[in-house]
Structures are given as structure tokens and as C-alpha cells.
Amino acid sequence: MANHYKSILVAVDGSKEAEYAFRKSIDVAKRNDGSLLNIVNVIDTRAFVAYGRSFVERAQQLSEELVNDYKAQAEAEGLTNVNVVIEYGSAKTMITKEIAHSAQADLIICGGTGLNAVERFFMTGSVADAIVRSAKCDVLVIRTAE
């Protein structure tokens, strides 16, 4: 018997692979009638120190535009149970440690690389790597539009 996902979390950051992940999340939600689709964007607070208050306000505005645009697209595709979440901090920890828990997510969908692709060469890996390592639920990593 196939899994029936009740709460799907899709991580978006404005990258092309996040767009692919979002498109796939709509397909998965449609196949799991009644699933809650949580569209999540985490604003990285490390940049706040360097760029100041105007950066924070602009980041919040861009994040709201991103998740609300995705919500409108999901609703246009016929999904009725759509939630948007904007959090501050490190996406690597916020998605699996806090957001997935509070959303009671049983599936996390994300792009293989995102806007922080360069980070994986200098730090501890990509956000997708961190999600796969620490998630307590199923994870689907999307790499292409197909």
C-alpha cells in the first residue's frame, strides 16, 4: 500500500530547482487528496549583520511575494489546503528541527541545490543535504524539471 501524505512541506528559495520542487509538490499533493501543502521560505539571518535593517525589510518583502505567488499558483491548480510559512534563521536547521515538526510534515520536498549552491563547497553541505540527514520524515529531493 502506498504512503498517503497528510502534510507536505516544500522548501522554496527563488531558485530554479526550488521551482521544480514546488511544481512536484503540487503533483504529490493532488495525488494525496486532502493533503496540506506548506510552502516554506527561510530568511537567512546571517546577512542581517552585514547589511542592516533595510536588508531585513527587503528580504521579508521578497519572501512574502515568493510564498504568496506560489500559494496562488497552488490554489489555481485546485489545491484548497495551502499554508505559507516564513521563518528567520538557518534553513538547514529551521526546516527539519522546527518547521517540519510544527507542520507535522510527513514529506519534505526540496531542490537539490538552491540559491546557496556556493555554500556547499565552503561549509557543511547544501540545505538539501542537511534535510536528508536530519529529517524525521520522508524527503524528496528534486534535481530537474522532469
Q: Concatenated DSSP letters for 83-105?
A: EEEEEEE-HHHIIIIIIHHHTT-
Q: Domain ranges for the chain, please list them.
A: 7-142
Q: What is the pLDDT of residue 138?
A: 96
Q: What is the pLDDT of residue 144?
A: 77
What dotted CATH number matches 7-142?
3.40.50.620
Say yes or no to pLDDT of 124 above 90: no
In sequence order, what are the residues at sequence separation of 6 or more whose Cβ sits closer than 8 angstroms to the Cβ of residue 113? 15, 17, 120, 126, 128
pLDDT band at 46 (very low <50, low <70, confident <90, very high): confident
Q: What is the pLDDT of residue 119?
A: 42
Question: What is the C-alpha separation between 82 and 35, in angstroms, rounded?
Answer: 9
pTM exceeding the 0.85 threshold for the entire prediction: yes
Mean pLDDT of 56-74: 94
Q: What stretch of H or E contains 57?
A: helix 53-76
Q: What is the pLDDT of residue 125?
A: 65
Q: Compare 122 and 76 and report the one with higher pLDDT.
A: 76
Q: Compare 46 and 38 and report the one with higher pLDDT.
A: 38
- Let me know: does 19 contact 69? Beta carbons within 8 Å: no
pLDDT averaged over every residue in the chain: 86
Question: What is the C-alpha separation between 61 and 69, in angstroms, rounded?
Answer: 12
